[in-house]
A and B are shown apart, each in its own frame.
Chain A
Amino acid sequence: MSQEQDTKNRDSNSETPQKRAGMELPILGQVSRRTAIKGAAAVAGVAALGVAAAPMLQKTAELSAAEFMQRHFKELTDEDKRIIFERLENEAQEKYDAEVQIGDHPPIRGVRFGYAINLSLCNGNGKCMEACHRENNHDRATQQSYIRIFEMPVGTTDFEQGNTSYDHEVPQKSHYYLPVQCFQCDNPPCVSVCPVEATWQESDGIVVVDYNWCIGCRYCMAACPYHARRFNWKEPEIPADEVNPDQGYLSNRIRPQGVVEKCHFCLHRTRVGKLPACLEACPTGARIFGDLMDPDSNIRWVLANKRCFTIKEELGTKPMMFYFFD
C-alpha cells in the first residue's frame, strides 16, 4: 500500500457513512476485474485443496463419533466400559470377521509381578516369540512379537555383538541366548514422557497403554532404553481363524493403526491366575513368573537364591525382569 492510498483510507474514516460508500464505489469499479480474478483463484485453490485432501475421506468416515469422543480409560465408568467394549467387539467382527470378547481385567490388590529368565536353560528356540505373536494378535505379515532373542557369543554382555535374526539350529556352540521384552520398569521413562498420560504403570507394576487414547507421537519409543515398544505403522492384518478371541482392553485386543503398543505380561491371563503365554510355550523351563509380594512364590525363591542381574541397571529404570545363570 502506498502512502497516498493510506492517507485516502484514513480520510475516508472521518467521512459520514453515505459519503464513504460513495467513495468506495469507484474503487470497487477499478478493482472489480482484479477481484473477480482473485475470487476465481480462491475458488480454484479451495477445489485443488479438496482434491489433494480427498484420500483421507474414507478413513475419516470410518472414525465414529463415539470413538472420537471417547475419554481416557481412567475416567470411564463401568457402564462406559461396557458400551466401549461392545463397540470394539463389533468392530472386530466387521473388520476381522472374528467373534471376540474384550474384558477389563483390573490389577489384583497386593500383587506385584516379577519375571526371571534362566539364561543357562534358554536355548533360543523362539517358542516364546511365536506364542506372543499368536496370543497378542500381532500383525501376521511383519512377524511382530513383543519378545526378541539375542544370540550372544559367550564372554560378553554387549548387545552389539548379539544377533536377533539368526536362522539356524540352536543352541550354537559358544553362544548363549538372551530373550528381551518389556521389563515393566518400576521407574519407567516411557511413562514420564507421554504428553497425554496414554501409558501408565498399574498397581501390579505392569505398564499399560490405552490404545484409544495414544496420539502416536512415539516419544515413549524414544525414551525406552530397551526397544520394548512397537508402533502400528499400519492396521494389523490377521486371518479370522487366527484371531485370539480372549482379549483385554489394555492388553491383546487388536490394536488400531497409528498407536504404540508393548508387552503387558499377558495381563488378561496373569490377572486371572494364568501364566504368560511366553512362559507356557517355553520348552526349556527357563522362564519363572510370579508375585513378588508372595514370599512363597517361585520368583521370590529365584531372587533370594540366584545371582540375578538386570539390563542397563545404571540407568535407574529398575526393571522387573531379572536374568541369571545357573
Chain B
Amino acid sequence: MSANQITSDTSSTATPRGYWANYPRFLWQSLRAATDGSPLFYGWMTLLTAVALVGVNGWAHQYASGMIVTHMTDHVSWGLYIANFTFGVGLAAGGVMMVIPAYLYRNRAMHDVVILGELLAVAAIIICTLFIAVDLGRPDRFWHIIPGLGRFNWPISMLTWDVIVLNGYLLINLHICGYLLYTKFQGRTPNRWWYIPFVFLSIIWAISIHTVTAFLYQGLGGRPFWNTALLAPRFLASAFVSGPIFLILTMLILKKIAGIQLPSQAIKLLVQIVRVTILINLLMVASELFTEFYTGAAHSVHAYYLFFGLHGHNALVPWIWTAIVLNVLAAIFFLNRSALESPTWLTIACLMGLVGIWIEKGMGLIVPGFVPSTLHQIVEYVPSLTEWQITAGIWAFGLMVYSVGLKIAIPIFRAASHDE
C-alpha cells in the first residue's frame, strides 16, 4: 500500500462520514476475525461455550431455588464466588505490569504486546463483575446500586468505591484497546493525546482497584483476620505476580499452539518482574504469619484454623499448604535462571505460581475470615457442586472474551508493526 492511500484514508476518517463508514467495517472485520479460525480455535471456543452454559444453568437453578444451593451459611456468608472475585481483581490489576515497562520506561518491544495486558484487564474485570453478580441474593435488584437510579451509599460504603474503580478501569481499558485497534486497523498512527493520558490513568487506576478491594475486607473491625494494614500491599504484591504470570502463559500458549511468535524480550522482562514480586509477596506472607503465630493472641485463631485446623476442623489445611508449597516452588524456579530457559519449566513454574496465588487470594483469604465466626463458632465451608459449576462457567466466559480479544488484536497489531 502506498503512503498516499494512507493519507487519503486518514483524511477521509477525519470527516464524520468516513467514521460512520469505517467504524462498522472495523466491527464487521473484528466479528469475522473472532469467528474465523483453525479447527483448534473452533474446538477451544466450543469447549468454553459449553462450560459457560453449564455455569448459566447452575446460576439459573440458584436464582430459582435461592442461595441454599450453595454451601454458604450465616456463619460463612461469602465463599467461592467472592474468593474468585478477589483473585480476578488481582489479575486485572496485574495486567498493568505490561503497561508500566511499555509506557513508563518506553520499552519498544513491550509496545507490540502491551495490548495483551489491556485485554487481560478487560476480561478479568468482566469476570469480577460476574462473580459479584452471581453472589447477589437479589440479582433482579442490581439497579439499586446504579448511581442516579438507585441509592448509592458513596463515599461511606467501600463497595460503592469498588463499583466505581472497577467500572472505571473497564472503561479506561476498553477505550485504550478500542482506540489502538481501530486506528491500527485503519493504518493510522494513533494520536498520542487520545490514549497516552489514559494509559497513565490506567496505571494509577490499576493500583486503586486492588487497594479498594483490599479495603473492603481490611476496614472491617469485627474480622481480625482481614483487619490488618498489610492487606492492601499484600494484594498488590500478589497481583503483580499473578498478572504477569498469566501474560507469560498467554504468550507461551500462543507460540506453542497458534504458532504466533511475539517478541521474546517481552517474556524475559515479565519473568524479571515476577522474580521480584514473587519474593515481595512471600516476604509479606511471612511477616503476617510471624505476627499471627508469635503473638498467639485470640486474634490468631483464624490463622491457626487456616494452617493447622481447630478442634478437629481442618477443611482449609490442605488448600493453604498446597498454596504455600506452590508459591515457594514457583519462587525457587523463577530465581533459577537456567530452569526458565526451557518453555516447559517456565510453564510449570507459571502454573504453580498462578494456582498458588489463586488459593492464597481466594479460599485462603476469604473463608478463614469467617471461621471461627465473630462469636467464635466453627462452621466449616466446602463449596457445593453448583458453586463450582457457576465458577467454571464464569472463568470459561472470561477466557472466551480474552481469546476473542487476542484473536482480533494480534493480527491488527502485527500488520501495523509490519507497516512500520
Bound complex: CA A192 to CA B156 (Å): 6
Q: Determine whether A14 belongs to the interface, using a CB cutoff of 8 Å to chain B.
A: yes
Minimum Cβ distance to chain B for residue A257 (Å): 5
Alpha-carbon distance A232/B373, docked complex (angstroms): 18
Stretch of A88-96, A100-108, A126-134, A223-231 lying at the B interface: A223-231
Inter-chain contact A55/B63, CB cutoff 8 Å:
yes
Q: Verify if B35 is at the interface (C-beta below 8 Å from A).
A: yes
Q: When the two chains form their complex, are residues A233 and B138 in contact, meaning their CB atoms are under 8 A apart?
A: no
Q: Contacts of B40 on A, CB cut-off 8 Å?
A: none
Query: Contacts A196-B152, A198-B144: A217 and B66 contacting too (C-beta < 8 A)?
Result: no
A189 at the interface (CB under 8 A from B): yes
Question: A225 and B374 in contact (CB under 8 A), knowing A3-B415, A216-B138, A233-B68?
Answer: yes
Query: Smallest CB-CB separation from A148: which chain B residue?
Result: B375
Tell which of B50-58, B99-107, B198-206, B241-249 binds the partner: B50-58
B173 → chain A, closest Cβ, in Å? 22
Of the four ranges (under 10, 10 to 19, 20 to 34, 35 or more), the interface on chain A belongs to 35 or more
Nearest residue, chain B, Cβ from A63: B140
User: Which of A59, A189, A197 is within 8 Å of B64, CB to CB?
Assistant: A59
The distance in angstroms between the C-alpha atoms of A221 and B74, with both chains bound, is 8
Q: B192 an interface residue at 8 Å Cβ cutoff?
A: no
By the criterion of a CB under 8 Å from any partner CB, how many residues of chain B are at the interface? 78
Chain A 190-218 per-residue mask, 1 if CB under 8 angstroms from chain B, else 0: 00111111100000000000000111111
B305 CB to nearest chain A CB (Å): 11
* Interface contact B29-A9, CB-CB below 8 Å: yes
Q: Which of A7, A11, A14, A231 contacts B77 (CB 8 A)?
A: A231
| Chain B residues within 8 Å of A293, by CB | none
Say yes or no: B373 contacts A225, CB within 8 Å: no
Bound-state Cα–Cα, A72 to B145, Å:
12
Is A66 an interface residue when CB atoms closer than 8 A count as contact? Answer: no
Could you tell me if A197 and B377 are in contact, using CB atoms closer than 8 angstroms?
no
CB B139 to nearest CB in A, in angstroms, measures 8
**With A162-B376, A193-B159, A224-B374 in contact, do A215 and B137 touch (Cβ < 8 Å)?**
yes
In the bound complex, residues from chain B placing their C-beta under 8 Å from that of A51 are 57
Chain A neighbourhood of B145, CB < 8 A: 195-196, 215
Contact B220 A222 (CB under 8 A): yes
B33 to chain A, nearest CB (A): 6
The yes or no answer to B112 lying at the interface (CB within 8 A) is no
Interface string of B3-36 (1 = CB under 8 A from A): 0010011001000000001100100010011011
A72 vs B222: C-alpha distance in the bound complex, in angstroms?
Answer: 28
Q: Which of A282-321 contact B (CB under 8 A)?
A: 312, 315-317
Partner of A197, one of B151, B187, B298: B151
In the complex, chain A residues whose CB is within 8 Å of the CB of B370: 222
- The reply on B257 being an interface residue by CB < 8 A is no
What chain A residues lie within 8 Å of B1 (beta carbons)?
A: 7, 10-11
CA distance A159 to B375 in the complex (A): 6
- The answer, yes or no, to whether A154 is at the interface (CB within 8 Å) is no
A55 and B376 in contact (CB under 8 A), knowing A218-B137, A258-B66?
A: no
CB contact between A224 and one of B139, B157, B222 (< 8 Å): that residue: B222
Which B residues from 353 to 407 make CB contacts under 8 A with A? 369-370, 372-377
With a cutoff of 8 Å between Cβ atoms, the chain A residues found around residue B376 in the complex are: 158-160, 162
Interface residues of A in 42-84 (CB under 8 A from B): 45, 48-49, 51-56, 58-60, 63, 68, 72
- Taken together as a complex, chains A and B put the C-alpha atoms of A51 and B411 apart, in Å, by 35
Closest to B46 in A: A41
A52 with B137: in contact, given A159-B375, A196-B152, A227-B373 (CB under 8 Å)?
Answer: no
Q: Which residue of A lies closest to B221 (CB)?
A: A315
B1 CB to nearest A CB, Å:
5
A233 engages B67 (CB within 8 Å): yes
* A55-B67 Cα distance, complex, nearest whole Å: 14
For B135-163 the 0/1 string (1 means CB < 8 A from A) is 11111111011000011110011111001
Given contact pairs A56-B64, A218-B77, A194 touches B153 in the complex (Cβ within 8 A)? yes
B150: chain A residues at CB < 8 Å are: 72, 196
Instruction: State A263–B139 Cα separation when bound (angstroms).
Output: 24
Query: Which residues from A are CB-within-8-Å of B140?
Result: 60, 63, 68
Cross-chain contact of B415 among A6, A60, A160, A217 (Cβ < 8 A): A6
B60 contacts chain A at the CB level, 8 A cutoff: yes
- B221 close to A189 (CB less than 8 A): yes
Interface flag for A219 (CB, 8 Å): yes
Is B256 part of the binding interface, using a Cβ–Cβ cutoff of 8 Å?
no
Query: Which residues does chain B contribute within 8 Å of A257, judged by CB atoms?
Result: 66, 137
Known: A1-B415, A3-B415, A193-B159. A215 touches B136 (CB 8 A): yes
Closest to A230 in B: B74
Does residue A143 face the partner (Cβ distance < 8 Å to B)? no
Cross-chain contact B374 with A215 (CB below 8 angstroms): no
**Interchain CB contact under 8 A, B66 and A52:** no
* Residues of chain B at the chain A interface (Cβ within 8 Å): 1, 5, 8-9, 12, 21-22, 25, 29, 32-33, 35-36, 49, 53-54, 56-57, 59-61, 63-68, 70, 72-75, 77-78, 132, 135-142, 144-145, 150-153, 156-160, 163, 185-187, 216-217, 220-223, 298, 301, 369-370, 372-377, 411-412, 415, 418
**A-B contact sample (8 more), CB < 8 A, given A13-B22, A55-B64, A233-B68:** A3-B415, A6-B412, A56-B60, A195-B153, A195-B157, A222-B220, A224-B222, A227-B74
Please give me the 10 A-B residue pairs with the lowest Cβ-Cβ distance, nearest first.
Answer: A216-B137, A225-B222, A258-B137, A234-B66, A195-B159, A160-B376, A52-B57, A234-B68, A55-B60, A56-B60
**Can you list 26 A-B pairs with a CB-CB distance of less than 8 A?**
A10-B5, A10-B187, A13-B22, A52-B54, A53-B60, A54-B60, A55-B61, A68-B140, A72-B150, A150-B375, A160-B372, A192-B156, A194-B157, A195-B153, A196-B152, A197-B153, A213-B151, A216-B137, A217-B135, A222-B77, A222-B217, A229-B74, A233-B73, A258-B137, A315-B221, A315-B222
